[in-house]
Amino acid sequence: MGFLSAFVCVALASGAFAQAAFPDCVSGPLATTTVCDITANPVDRAAALVSLFTFDEKVNNTGNTSPGVPRLGLPAYQWWQEGLHGVAESPGVYFAESGPFSYATSFPQPILMSAAFDDPMIYNIATVISTEARGFNNNNRSGLDFWTPNINPFKDPRWGRGQETPGEDPFHLQSYVYNLITGLQGGLDPEYKRIVATCKHFAAYDLENWMGNVRYGFDAIVSIQDLSEFYTRSFRTCARDANVGAFMCSYNAVNGVPSCANSYLLQDILREHWGWTNEDQWVTSDCDAIENIYQPHYYAPTRQLTVADALNAGADLDCGEYYPLNLGSAYEEGLFNVSTLDRALIRLYSSLVKLGYFDPAENQPYRSIGWENVSTPAAEELAYTAAVEGITLLKNDGTLPLSSSIKSIALIGPWANATTEMQGNYYGVAPYLISPLMAAEAAGYTVYYATGPGIDDPTTSSFPAAFEAAAAADAIIYAGGINTDVEAEGMDRYTLDWPGVQIDLIDSLSQFGKPFVVLQMGGGQVDDSCMIPNAGVNAIIWGGYPGQSGGTALIDIIMGKVAPAGRLPITQYPIGYVYQIPMTDMSLRPSATSPGRTYMWYTGTPVFPFGYGLHYTNFTASLSESSASSYDISTLVSGCSGYEHLDLCPFASYTVNVTNTGNSVSSDFVALLFVAGEHGPAPVPNKVLAAYSRLHSVAPLSSQTTTLNLTLGSLARADSYGNTILYPGEYDLVLDVDAKSTVSFSLTGNESVLDYWPQPTA
């Protein structure tokens, strides 16, 4: 979303905190109406409210900064709040300058949280975020609608907003978002929602500004097969399975039609095919995306046709002013029916009814949440745990954890004393921000600190100070990589190399002959190829954007106070990848002009593959044999009569036995189960993640077990029409990236369609 336009919208608000006030349902103008009748149906209550609006009042309340209807006692309301990894600064969130509500818990960025592969933790984090959001709302410091999560798959490593996502794998995104949404909203269909979450950006959005292609006018040409199998699977989970309250349509067009005017996306797929039909579920545009339909998409020839196209397609709310400014004249031209406008408003206000917005405090469970529930000790501990669980060890020759004999370290680099950088983007005010420098000093090390070159500084003038620090210390830690200076909303990368002269400094520091650890920070991956064979680089740790306790988590791992067990949620490609395929190419499968995308289709050799991560100990793991070596497809499908969605029908459960064969370090372990083999349309994917589970604290010389459940959808693939099909053929279940254990079976008989994908009309 574009913050520049957002702040213009904020200026329209009638008062600093007016949008967070509650209607007076005791003695105000609405008190005796159906609107305030808590026994009535939410849709009936919302419809009663909208029926009291004049036409102009209806139009005025179609933008994200809604003025309300003062004559009815309906306050102004800001629909735009952010909560990507904690309550965040945004048009609807107001942090106090000091004291209560001056901060909120700041968790790691999603790209790092997802590297933990710990879905129960994601649910707990979401519950904390929504609880703190309620505290802010109850004290007139936020609204109740949060435009999170970003659930677009991170298919191209250059994308500036990849840090906001859980990574590149569709199944991982589905599992992550299900737990996140149910934690944010307080369940699948609670009587009162904690907050309303918003799945964004629908659909096929993963380009900011690359080679003159700008997100506001980019037309993503996507095959129906890829749209079904990759670009929309996480959104299907949002709508069909997790019952999310809101969607956001994206800036880009899909196959020639801007997303916010795309009835195929917003109606045929979202509402009709996925059954997202509750009248309290609504769609917002990304900020100014409706205006962008007019230009730079040049899809509609007039402003009036632009807003009518979006409203008729199913975009209920405009983040911006284009609806309020142009819907009136569009209606005068007969371009939409007033019932369509009413439908949009009823959806919005039904959502507020479900949040308890019109109900007395004593009638709903969240109105009593206050400052004492914000940034609690438990929340702070969870933020630290999330950082520890996601941090991923990429190389280690045995140097880590550092020996207790090391008393001094040289801490060098642009991330060495990073504070706000730890949060990435879409962040709020944290209660504290602990840099690696602060954490190292608190741990008792004598620290020789040198900033080194900036992230993309092309000069070597800072090298002498870095060398001086390195010479004085027992061990060296370089903290660098990338940050929001080179990857951010509105900005894509052009290279996968370490920016500036960082790699030159790393090479020089590796020649000191001292224990040397490289902290690779940032959301996207950079090519570490030159460091892997360098014996002077003893260890590499990927730290992402680790949040408020990031420095402590990093130093604790380096010391061995905790053990790393994160797994890469994205592929680390070699630097030449960017020259093999343009960002604008949306295809996934390899071809004469493409090496393929993501671990599923990439035909080259990755620097580090998806799911890669080392430990401070050694593990063995075995997968239980299936009960049969062959399954008849028709028999499998006929046993799913109780399942509305056949892809969710159970196939089999597999027990994984994990043994820590080391004798000194207790460690977590993530069990990843992939499906491979020859089945379905060519080209066959390398493998596809089907299940995962994080085991906690596996003690030395001991074992733990976990169960991984597969569904028919785990085995299915999409055909060229986007239909989800269970194909006959040979299937291999592969445990972990290095194939610690494999089980094989076959599916026989005729293929079976589990889901028919809606086809676009000409």
Query: What are the catalytic residues?
Result: 286
For residue 464, is the peptide bond before it cis, meaning its omega torsion is within 30 degrees of 0?
A: no
Q: With left for phi above 0 and alpha for psi between -120 and 50, is residue 93 left, alpha or beta?
A: beta
- Cα 479 to the center of its chain, rounded Å: 25
Tokens 């990843």 locate to 672
Distances (CA, A) of 244 to 114, 174, 390, 580, 758: 20, 13, 26, 38, 21
How far is residue 116's CA from residue 553's CA, in Å, rounded to a whole number?
13
Q: What is the C-alpha to C-alpha distance for residues 214 and 183, in angstroms, rounded to an integer?
A: 34
Complete DSSP assignment for 182-201: HHHHTSSS-SS-S-B-EEEE
DSSP 339: H
**Best CA proximity match to 113, nearest among 384, 382, 387:** 387
Q: At what angle do helices 119-138 and 170-185 cross, to 10 degrees?
A: 40
3-state helix, strand, coil in the chain (%, to 5): 30, 20, 50
Give the β-pairing of 741-748 and 752-755: unpaired
Q: Which two tokens stand for residue 242?
A: 């997790």
Kind and range of the H or E run holding 384? helix 377-390
Q: Which residues contact 46 (CB under 8 A, 6 or more apart)?
A: 35, 279, 280, 345, 346, 347, 348, 349, 350, 352, 353
- Cα–Cα dist 689/708, whole Å: 12
Four-residue CA torsion sign, 276, 281, 287, 290: positive
| Pairwise CA distance, residues 72 & 68, whole Å | 9
Sign of the four-CA dihedral 208, 145, 522, 4: positive
Residue 392 phi/psi, 5-degree rounding, is -120, 130
**Residue 623: is it exposed, middle or buried by C-beta count within 10 angstroms (0-12/13-18/19+)?**
buried
Token readout for 184 is 């944010």
Number of C-alpha atoms within 13 angstroms, CB side, residue 538?
A: 19
Q: What are the DSSP calls for 348-378, one per residue?
A: HHHHHHHTTTTS-GGGSTTTT--GGGSS-HH
Nearest to 656 by CA among 607, 615, 701, 691: 691
Closest C-alpha to 48, from 58, 37, 34, 60: 34
